[in-house]
């Protein structure tokens, strides 16, 4: 009987494989000579169905939360998980958390490359073309103070001395930590209002969506 169960599990995993990896995203911003850093552990899981006609159907989910850089009196910068955009190509080249770590390691998360993802090790710096969506809250307690920023215009928006000094991803086994509500107190209400109810927005319209801040599995 045990042999039959094992055989069924082997067949199931062969036809419905899943690929999991976890990484730390860390970004540092210098303002007026002081370094501010935010980081978060993010877990990506790809679940696939049977391969048919040389192609497979796979879908990703995220666990974890956005990285928040607390700038004190200057507010906070959030590196979101999802870009919050509904048009492609995504404005300013912002990259989804599903792909940003894999991209840094040279893996495009294609069907053929997915099996390599759980075996990634080490750390990679982020390039300006492989960067998360950045949102600046001049007042972290007020979601209406949100403003999109980029690596290129941060000095024009926040402070003339502002510049990103470090940004990297690193494969880790550290646990996922969920405390976004302590950093963005309006978030629980946003999640309650949106999760499971669908969010409609016009193409090109910037709108805060709960899954920009926490993963679907969180």
CB burial string 100-133: b at 16+ within 10 A, e below: bbbbbbebebeeeebeebeebeeebebeeebbbb
Position 44 confidence tier, pLDDT thresholds 50, 70, 90: very high
Which residues have C-beta within 8 Å of that of residue 109, sequence separation ≥ 6? 46, 60, 98, 99, 102, 117
Average the pLDDT over 172-201 and give the result: 90
Q: Mean pLDDT check: name the lowest of 72-76, 89-93, 169-173, 207-211.
A: 89-93
Position 2 confidence tier, pLDDT thresholds 50, 70, 90: very low
Give 32: exposed, middle or buried? Use CB within 10 Å, 0-12, 13-18, 19+. exposed
What value, to the nearest 5°, has the Cα angle with vertex 74 and ends 156 and 184? Answer: 115
Does residue 143 contact residue 75 with C-beta atoms inside 8 Å? no
Please name the residue that has the structure tokens 């894999």: 102
CA quadruple 164, 169, 170, 172: dihedral sign: positive
pLDDT, tens digit (0-9, with 9 covering 90-100), for 137-154: 999 999 999 999 999 999
Position 9 confidence tier, pLDDT thresholds 50, 70, 90: very low
pTM of the model: 0.88
Average the pLDDT over 164-184 and give the result: 97
What is the distance between the alpha carbons of residues 136 and 152, in angstroms, rounded to a whole number? 14
pLDDT, tens digit (0-9, with 9 covering 90-100), for 52-72: 545 568 999 999 999 999 999
What is the distance between the alpha carbons of residues 101 and 156, in angstroms, rounded to a whole number? 28
Residue 199 CA neighbour count, 13 Å, CB half? 18
Sheet with 134-137, strands from edge to edge, namely 67-70, 76-79, 134-137, 146-149
CB burial string 85-95: b at 16+ within 10 A, e below: bbeeeeebebb
Q: Mean pLDDT check: name the lowest of 46-50, 193-197, 202-206.
A: 202-206
**What is the predicted pLDDT for the residue at 7?**
34
SS3 string, 102-159, reads: HHHCCCCCCCCCHHHHHHCCCEEECCCCCCCCEEEECCCCCHHHEEEECCCCHHHHCC
């Amino acid at each position: 009987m045990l042999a039959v169960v094992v055989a069924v599990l082997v067949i199931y995993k062969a036809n419905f494989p899943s690929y999991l990896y976890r990484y730390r995203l860390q970004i540092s911003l210098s303002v007026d000579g002081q370094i501010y850093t935010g980081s978060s552990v993010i877990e990506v899981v790809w679940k696939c169905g049977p391969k048919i006609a040389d192609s497979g159907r796979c879908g990703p989910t995220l666990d974890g939360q956005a990285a928040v850089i607390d700038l004190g009196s200057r507010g906070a910068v959030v590196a979101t998980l999802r870009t919050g955009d509904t048009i492609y190509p995504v404005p300013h080249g912002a990259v989804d958390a599903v792909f940003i770590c894999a991209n840094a390691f040279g893996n495009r998360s294609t069907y053929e490359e997915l099996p390599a993802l759980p075996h990634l090790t080490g750390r990679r710096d982020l390039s300006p073309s492989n960067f998360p969506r950045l949102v600046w809250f001049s007042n972290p307690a007020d979601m209406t103070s949100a403003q999109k920023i980029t690596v290129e215009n941060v000095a024009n928006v926040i402070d003339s001395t502002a510049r990103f000094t470090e940004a990297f991803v690193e494969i880790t086994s550290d646990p996922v930590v969920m405390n976004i509500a302590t950093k963005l107190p309006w978030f629980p209400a946003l999640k309650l209002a949106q999760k499971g109810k669908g969010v409609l927005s016009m193409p090109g319209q910037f709108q805060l969506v709960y899954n920009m801040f926490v993963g679907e599995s969180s």
